[in-house]
Amino acid sequence: MSNHDYSFETQLLHNQYKFDPATGGVSVPVQYASTYHQPSVDKFGKYDYSRSLNPTREAVEEIIAGLEGGTRGFAFSSGMAAISTAFLLLSQGDHVVVTEDVYGGTFRMVSQVLTRFGIEHTFVDMTDLAAVKEAVRPNTKLFYAETPSNPLMKVTDIQAISDIAKEHGALTFVDNTFMTPYLQRPLELGADIVLHSATKFLGGHSDTVSGLAVVKDEELGNRLYSLQNAFGAVLGVQDAWLVMRGIKTLSVRMQQSQENAIKIANFLKDHPLVKKVHYPGFEDHPQYEIHKKQSYGPGAVLSFELESEQLLKDFVNNVKLPVFAVSLGAVESILSYPTKMSHAAMPAEVREKRGISDSLLRLSVGLESADDMIKDFEESLRVSSAHASHQGGIR
């Protein structure tokens, strides 16, 4: 039985790294060595220097490649290191079409760094395929999608974008951070590179900053390997081990967090002080059918808009259970404020144009009881609304 005959849950635990063949140890050994003794001048071993290849990093790279249905994985020192290194596949004069409500750090990389190297870009609403086609130029070499998007949870049709890219001989990158391979596998839908901030659901415990990339095509894998080695933003071994430990419980964490998120999203949707909830699990989400077709569930991240910025400030001050922090995808629920956190790198007028309002909060739902979370939110909204109306914050 090959590993791929097993269900995803089983594959998370039963791979070639289930135990260490040298000792039988049921955990991948952390190899701290930066360099490796070579047998002779004429014969070098598999490992020579840890930036180029390290057995602990190699383990997480092969594990994520298997889970995403790719042939080769790469581990980087952060999600942004993975994304930035993948962008280095482009050359001066190339053009990239990017989804418009992309993660703020990716927005910064595309708009402030790539431009200095003569790489052009167009931001488009990737839910609008006609707009995507219109954005194509003769020098378009890449389509960059993030789905569901951050923070408005818009859904891009991965297959449709990949088809457009192929028609133009261009590549498709998909940031799969919000879904993980448990819920969505972009390579199976035609994407060329899948990218992750493994800092989020894959690591899962708010204790490592790390990034992953997976490719299907061997030649593309060789090019990305060469860039990983050239740029050198590789993942350290302790973090590689933490990501592997996180991955072992990915399915149960995602399942439970998603179940909790569905309950909390429904609670927020019915609350009179909540103007809008963005969550791809709602049947009235504009791309509900597309998301259903290309994924195995709506995930554990949602965003919601409160009646006013004052109410938002009071709500954040009063709420007790979620941590108020940058990041997502952890065992604890994380509430964040895109305007001042993930999307602070985006100019205010751009945020406004893209619908990222100053009264929008993003919630990454963790493993606390959903009932406790709902009680906490209910109470915080009640106290905050009394305070905000006193301040004249709500109509």
Q: Which of 57, 72, 101, 103 is catalytic?
A: 103
305 in Cβ contact with 276 (< 8 Å): yes
Asked about 216 being catalytic, the answer comes back as no
How far apart CA 54 and CA 56 sit, in angstroms, is 6
Asked about 279 being catalytic, the answer comes back as no
* Binding characters for ligand PLP, 62-101, by CB under 6 A (x = yes): ----------------xxx---------------------
Q: Is residue 184 at the binding interface for ligand PLP, with CB under 6 A as the rule?
A: no
Asked about 362 being catalytic, the answer comes back as no
What residues from 338 to 377 belong to the interface with ligand PLP (CB under 6 A)?
342
Scanning the chain, the segments in alpha helix (DSSP H) are 8-11, 55-68, 79-87, 104-108, 129-135, 158-167, 180-183, 218-231, 237-248, 250-269, 288-294, 309-318, 348-353, 370-390
* Binding characters for ligand PLP, 19-38, by CB under 6 A (x = yes): --------------------
Asked about 144 being catalytic, the answer comes back as no
At its nearest, how many Å lie between ligand PLP and the CB of residue 218? Answer: 26
How far apart CA 17 and CA 240 sit, in angstroms, is 13
* Binding characters for ligand PLP, 245-264, by CB under 6 A (x = yes): --------------------
What residues from 254 to 313 belong to the interface with ligand PLP (CB under 6 A)?
none
How far apart CA 360 and CA 345 sit, in angstroms, is 16
Give the CA dihedral 130, 131, 134, 137, nearest 10 degrees.
Answer: -130
* Cα-Cα end-to-end distance for the chain: 63
Q: Is residue 334 at the binding interface for ligand PLP, with CB under 6 A as the rule?
A: no
Which neighbouring-strand residues pair with 75?
212
At its nearest, how many Å lie between ligand PLP and the CB of residue 100? Answer: 14
Identify the DSSP state of 187: G
Size of the site for ligand PLP (CB under 6 A): 15
Q: Which residues bind ligand PLP (CB under 6 A)?
A: 78-80, 103, 105, 146, 150, 175, 177, 197, 199, 209, 211, 327, 342
Active site residues: 51, 103, 175, 200
